[in-house]
């Protein structure tokens, strides 16, 4: 499943996001707050490994913004380097509120927890133990999203973020151009421009296919 090839039509839209948030209403408090924060983090287009490794100290605020500092791991052959990338939410936004509510819950219940996604194991399905020495595995982000929508998976949110960049570029210039390639690369923290171009190509290819189907239906 993690290698499923997607087209832009598979990208979850804003209506789908709202449905996922609605699906959290009946969940126990911890799982509800964590799921809503997860959807918010995924809005940045970050990978699940980068989200799950967040530490509480990586999230700060001021009067206007909530800042989330992600650690991006770049691998080139045998060399590994880490970069820091900061994404920000307007502090008045619903996304920021979801993140803050989850962090406040963690602080109240487990004040010594270092990670935003601490490793957790349930006891008979009622109580939980946190392992403060490590964070949860990236697969946990997958499980959270699948619980909200069996047809969704984390990478769709990454595609959604790319599509937003492309549409914003088109609204300003009329076309997705070379500058759009660099914008997608930087927003998603991609290693190569060719990877960013693939996001644009998938989006444009699906658009052409949709238009052709429409012509046949006339």
Same domain, 162 and 132: no
Give burial (CB, 10 Å; 0-12/13-18/19+) of 63: exposed
Residue 119 pairs in a beta bridge with 131
Confidence of residue 12 (pLDDT cuts 50, 70, 90): confident
Q: Is the pLDDT of residue 54 over 50?
A: yes
Asked if residue 19 is part of any domain, the answer here is no
Q: What is the pLDDT of residues 101-140, one digit of tens each?
A: 999 999 999 898 899 999 987 666 555 667 778 999 999 9
Query: Last residue of a domain, which of 107, 131, 148?
Result: 148
Asked if residue 105 is part of any domain, the answer here is yes
Interatomic CA distance for residues 184 and 178, integer angstroms: 10
Asked if residue 54 is part of any domain, the answer here is yes
Interatomic CA distance for residues 145 and 168, integer angstroms: 26
Mean pLDDT score of the chain: 86
Same domain, 55 and 40: yes
Number of domains in the chain: 2
User: Which pLDDT score, from 0 to 100, does residue 123 have?
Assistant: 66
Q: What is the pLDDT of residues 154-211, one digit of tens each?
A: 999 999 999 999 999 999 988 888 999 999 999 998 988 999 999 999 888 876 655 5
Query: In terms of residue numbers, what domain contains 139?
Result: 24-148
Asked if residue 18 is part of any domain, the answer here is no
Same domain, 110 and 2: no
Same domain, 85 and 161: no
Same domain, 160 and 181: yes
Asked if residue 93 is part of any domain, the answer here is yes
Same domain, 3 and 52: no
Contacts 24+ apart (CB under 8 A), 173-179: 176/200, 176/203, 176/204
Same domain, 144 and 161: no
User: Which pLDDT score, from 0 to 100, does residue 9 have?
Assistant: 54
Structure tokens at 208: 């052409």
Residue keyed to tokens 């997958």: 142
Question: How many helices (H) and strands (E) would you count in the chain?
Answer: 8, 5
User: Which pLDDT score, from 0 to 100, does residue 174 have?
Assistant: 87
User: Which pLDDT score, from 0 to 100, does residue 213 have?
Assistant: 43
Which residue has better confidence, 7 or 10? Answer: 10
> Could you tell me the CATH number of the domain that includes residue 127?
1.10.443.10
């Amino acid at each position: 499943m993690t290698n499923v090839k997607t087209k832009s039509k598979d990208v979850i839209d804003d209506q789908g996001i709202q449905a996922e948030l609605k699906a959290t209403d009946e969940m126990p408090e911890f799982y509800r707050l964590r799921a809503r924060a997860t959807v918010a983090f995924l809005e940045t287009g970050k990978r699940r490994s980068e989200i799950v490794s967040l530490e509480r100290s990586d999230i700060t605020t001021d009067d206007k913004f909530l800042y989330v500092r992600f650690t991006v791991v770049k691998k080139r052959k045998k060399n590994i380097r880490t970069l820091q990338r900061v994404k920000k939410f307007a502090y008045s936004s619903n996304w920021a509120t979801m993140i803050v509510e989850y962090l406040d819950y963690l602080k109240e219940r487990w004040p010594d927890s270092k990670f935003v996604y601490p490793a957790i194991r349930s006891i008979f399905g009622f109580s939980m133990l946190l392992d403060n020495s490590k964070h949860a595995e990236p697969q946990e982000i997958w499980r959270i999203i699948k619980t909200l929508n069996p047809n969704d998976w984390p990478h769709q949110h990454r595609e959604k973020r790319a599509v937003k960049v492309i549409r914003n570029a088109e609204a300003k210039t009329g076309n997705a151009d070379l500058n759009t390639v660099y914008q997608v690369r930087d927003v998603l923290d991609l290693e190569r421009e060719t990877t960013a171009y693939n996001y644009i190509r998938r989006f444009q290819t699906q658009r052409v296919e949709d238009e052709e189907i429409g012509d046949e239906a006339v």
